[in-house]
Amino acid sequence: MTDPHEEGQGRLADLLGNSDAKARVRALAALLESATFSVVVFKTGPEITVDYLNRAASITAAVAPEAAVGLPVTQVFPTVDVSLLQKLLAGSRPGAPQAIKGLLATGSAYHVDSLRLDAQRVLVIGEEMGDEVSSRERLEALIESTDAIWRSSDLHTMAPLIVEQARRLLVDIDVGLCTQTADHPESLRVVAAHSDWLEVGLQIPTAGTFIGQAADTGLSVESTTAPEVSAMGPRLRGAGINTIRAVPITAGEPLPDGRRALGVLEFGKRAATPFTDAQRRLMDEFGKLVGLAAHRAELLADARESARRLELSLDVAIALASSASPRAIIELLLDRALVSVDADRATISRLEGQEFVVEATRLRSGELNWTGLRYPIESLERQPLVKRALETRSAVIGGQLNVTDAFEEVQQQLAKMRSTVTLPLLANHEPAGLLVVSRTTEAAFTATDVSTLQLMGNAAILALRTARLLEELRAANEVKSRFLNLAAHELRTPITLLRGYASMLSDGTIDAPNQMLAVKIIKDKSTELSRLTDELLLAVRIESGSLNVEVSDFDIVATVRAAVAELARDGVLIGSEVRLIGAENAMSARGDAQHVRTIIENLLRNAILYSDQAAEVQVRFAKNRDQIEVAIEDHGRGIPEAERDGLFQRFARVEDGGAMSTGGAGLGLYIARWLARAVGGELELIRSEPGQGSLFQLRLPSAPAPALNARPARSRKAAVITQV
Amino acid sequence: MTTARILLIDDDPLVTEMYTLALTRAGHEVMSAGDGPRGLELAAGYQPDLIFLDVKMPRMDGIAVLSELSQDAMTRTIPVVMLSNYDDRKLVRQAESLGAKQYLVKAGTNPSDLAAVVEQWHEAPPPGGAAAR
């Protein structure tokens, strides 16, 4: 047995899929499968064969209905009078049904109606004689109904046609067609009628009426004492109508809004006698036929609406993609989202690392709030709706957001929302944001709404990414050009002196006693230039990610000593003192010794350059669990509070240092911290007081045991390196 | 060659020292200021024939100094030549619009070149004359 639902779908597919009349009539015949009268399609030719027979016809067939198709008529219906049949088939012309009465087959008297479908096929209906209504008329009307009704685009356009055809089908019976809309579930409205007691526009309550019952149950209802039992009693009595049959016009499946019936056909007559079986079958079959046509029309309308939405979303997507400002993109998205699905509130959020950032909310009133609130991603645990949408990467229709923690204003807004859809926005198949759209009405968001929003939302999230990247790129470019300017300036400073003194030496401006001084300046500035070049190169390598880090175990004390020796050679330490405390033994650290030496040199150079008088710098070593701590403390100018925040950023320079120029590209601490982290350590400013000095701490992982060969302890408590 | 009174405003003592040496050798009288406020003070009090002004200085940059010089009646007519290692277009235009006579890059200028610059502006029309560049 086929599932009736599947069967209905199949029939619909047949009807929709085939544009030629032959296929449609076949589909129509399928519809008549359940009819109690016989329907047979004969194929004419040298021999008459059976092309189709319905269930009723198969009862009189000699072979199983599945096997009958294609067989000669004499084999399928051995009792049939072939000469009479030949006459009937020969007389059938397309579009002109004919009827004969007689003994087509032995033993039964039939009304026989025929209609030529095409050059070869003829449809024949046989019904036992005795019916008052001519089956020829019915067949004709049914065939015509299909074509006429089929061409209509929706139930409302079809309505007058349906009523007209029903009248032809059922002579002397009043008929009206009512439809139900989602926003008025309590009544049905008459959209077409041929009667005195039903007029177009009349609202018929669903409660206590036959129409209502048929719409609710999806089944036909009949009564011969209608005025007594219907809520429409007085009206029926006034028109003298006693017998009513209400036939639901059903779709293949319940509608998304829960309706079972698209509408109801109501038939009525004065006589208080039941309708005949033939009439009932005709009414019910006609109802089914209209239902299929209407459902198809709804599907088509839906498809048209989807196409329109798709077009709209594509337009929005294009507009979004060409927008370069994140704010403009968000505004456009929220605006269009509300309009396109007729919603009242829309919020877009984005996922940024471990944070969930609510960007903005727009209300139908036009109010737009730039929220900017950030929540840790764990807080989504309390939002099952959002969590589910992000995890399943698909939209969640319905449900409510947990707003207990939200601002009162947001709580009030959301309290008014009755229907919500929560859509994850995907970029490269990964959740990158969230769009929540709500309505104040109960109307649920449809699949079309979701796909419209999804398309717009995904376009927006991609556009947002691009726009943000552009902004970052612009900022990075600005930083680069600032860097280049600064780099050029810093390199030119020593060059100015090199060039100046070299030219003065060669043109004789400098006399003999001053010549040694000039040479010393040239030497110092060459060193500075070379150091600056190294620093710039290091920064460029860090920025481009091409700096190598080679991790090994090394003695941190020896590394600091080497850094001090290097500074001494460069003359930086002149007049200053660097004390190493706790440096009696070697201390094995893990990292890149070369990079660590650069860190120490940078810290010591700063400590000395930012001291006005003879600098006294202390370097303290300590081991704390599995870390080596190197503290570098000076008693120099200190760092003003306002400059501490950006201290480790590129181009940071303490400018309020006093009269003496310190030079440098502002890269020393940036490089030092970067290197510290690159070797698995950390560099921090522990404290600083203007006029009192600063204390920096470098922490490095200590080398795991066995340690490096310990050096023999030094006799001095503190190593003092002084150069005057 | 006439002797001119020159004011150098620059925060790098090594640079001022070098230029002082060169200009003195060329027969000029030189005073120097290590920052903007001191420079403004000297410009008003010392009334130099020409000012060489650095741009990048702590507390008050050369553009701010130039702006004040051009607004003060005491200093308005003193020719100013910018002498800096910053030379981005925006800065140069800004300095020119504030009345700087010339914009020189230190690293591209020999100390002896400054003497020629002094010649050019010292012998320019006397104060009060056409103040155009």
Yes or no: say if B75 and B48 are a contact pair by the CB < 8 Å rule: no
Q: What does the pLDDT average to over B9-24?
A: 93
Q: Which helix (H) or strand (E) element contains residue B80?
A: strand B80-84
Is any Cβ of chain B less than 8 angstroms from the Cβ of A153? no
The mean pLDDT value of chain A amounts to 80
User: For A241-394, where are the alpha helices, taking DSSP H only?
Assistant: 277-321, 326-341, 384-392
CA-to-CA distance for A115 and A332, rounded, in angstroms? Answer: 60
Predicted ipTM > 0.90: no
Q: How far is CA A589 from CA A6, A182, A551, in A?
A: 76, 76, 10
- Interface residue of A478, A492, A495, A496 to substitute, partner B, most B CBs within 10 Å: A496
Find the residue in A nearest to B61 (Cα). Answer: A655
Task: Give the model's pLDDT for residue A21.
Answer: 64
- Interface residue of B85, B86, B89, B92 to substitute, partner A, most A CBs within 10 Å: B85
Of residues A480 and A418, more confidence is placed in: A418
Q: What does the pLDDT average to over A597-613?
A: 87
Write the single-letter amino acid at A21.
A
**Rg, C-alpha atoms of chain B:** 13
Residue B72 pLDDT level (bands cut at 50, 70, 90): very high
Least confident interval from A27-41, A360-374, B14-28: A27-41
- A401-460 tens-digit pLDDT: 777 777 788 888 888 888 999 999 988 888 899 999 999 988 889 888 898 898 889 888
Residue A661 is nearest to which of B11, B88, B111, comparing CB atoms?
B11
Take residue A577 and report the two structure tokens written for it. Answer: 């003192």
Task: Give the model's pLDDT for residue A65.
Answer: 75
- A193-244 tens-digit pLDDT: 888 888 888 888 888 888 888 888 888 999 999 888 888 888 888 888 999 9
pLDDT at A715 over 80: no
Q: What does the pLDDT average to over A126-145?
A: 56
In percent, the amount of chain A with pLDDT more than 70 equals 82
Give the residue carrying structure tokens 């490269």. A428
Task: Give the model's pLDDT for residue B7.
Answer: 96
In percent, the amount of chain A with pLDDT more than 90 equals 17
CB contact under 8 A, B112 and A489: no
Residue B18 is nearest to which of A495, A497, A655, comparing CB atoms?
A497
Is any Cβ of chain B less than 8 angstroms from the Cβ of A480? no
Task: Give the model's pLDDT for residue A111.
Answer: 64
Give the residue carrying structure tokens 């601490």. A669
Task: Give the model's pLDDT for residue A1.
Answer: 40
Yes or no: say if A529 and A488 are a contact pair by the CB < 8 Å rule: no
Residue A507 pLDDT level (bands cut at 50, 70, 90): confident
Of residues A52 and A363, more confidence is placed in: A363
Task: Give the model's pLDDT for residue A19.
Answer: 62
Least confident interval from A569-583, A652-666, B102-116: A652-666
CB contact under 8 A, B35 and A659: yes
CB contact under 8 A, A497 and B110: no
- Interface residue of B14, B35, B59 to substitute, partner A, most A CBs within 10 Å: B14
CA-to-CA distance for A431 and A378, rounded, in angstroms? Answer: 15
Give B-chain residues touching A661 at CB under 8 angstroms. 11-13, 58
Q: Exposure string (b/e) for A194-209, b if CB count within 10 Å is 16 or more?
A: ebebbeeebebebeeb
Task: Give the model's pLDDT for residue A140.
Answer: 57
Of residues A704 and A552, more confidence is placed in: A552
- B35-50 tens-digit pLDDT: 999 999 999 999 999 9
**What are the φ and ψ backbone dihedral angles of A612, each rounded to 5 degrees?**
-75, -45
Task: Give the model's pLDDT for residue A718.
Answer: 40
Residue A307 pLDDT level (bands cut at 50, 70, 90): confident
Q: What is the DSSP string of A110-178?
A: EEEEEEE-SSSEEEEEEEETT-SS-HHHHHHHHHHHHHHHHT-SSHHHHHHHHHHHHHHHSTT-EEEEE
pTM over 0.90: no
Of residues A27 and A137, more confidence is placed in: A27
CA-to-CA distance for A722 and A530, rounded, in angstroms? Answer: 24
pLDDT at A486 over 90: no
Task: Give the model's pLDDT for residue A96.
Answer: 60
Q: What does the pLDDT average to over A353-360?
A: 88
Give A-chain residues touching B85 at CB under 8 angstroms. 488-489, 492-493, 496
Residue A706 pLDDT level (bands cut at 50, 70, 90): low
pLDDT at A658 over 70: no
CB contact under 8 A, B35 and A489: no
Residue A572 pLDDT level (bands cut at 50, 70, 90): confident
CB contact under 8 A, A489 and B111: no
Of residues B30 and A475, more confidence is placed in: B30
Task: Give the model's pLDDT for residue A125.
Answer: 78
Q: What does the pLDDT average to over A475-491?
A: 82
Contacts of A383 (CB under 8 A, 6+ apart): A401, A402
Give A-chain residues touching B110 at CB under 8 angstroms. 499-500, 503-504
Is any Cβ of chain B less than 8 angstroms from the Cβ of A8? no
Distance of CA A671 to the CA centre of its chain: 42
CA-to-CA distance for A676 and A35, rounded, in angstroms? Answer: 88
Contacts of A472 (CB under 8 A, 6+ apart): none
- A58-82 tens-digit pLDDT: 777 888 877 888 888 888 887 777 7
Interface of A with B in 619-678 (CB under 8 A): 655-657, 659-661
Instruction: Return left, alpha or beta for A638; rule: phi > 0 is left, psi -120 to 50 is alpha, else beta.
Output: left
Find the residue in B nearest to A658 (Cα). Answer: B58
* Spatial CA neighbour of A463 closest among A493, A494, A425: A425
Residue A151 pLDDT level (bands cut at 50, 70, 90): low
Give B-chain residues touching A495 at CB under 8 angstroms. 107
Is any Cβ of chain B less than 8 angstroms from the Cβ of A496? yes
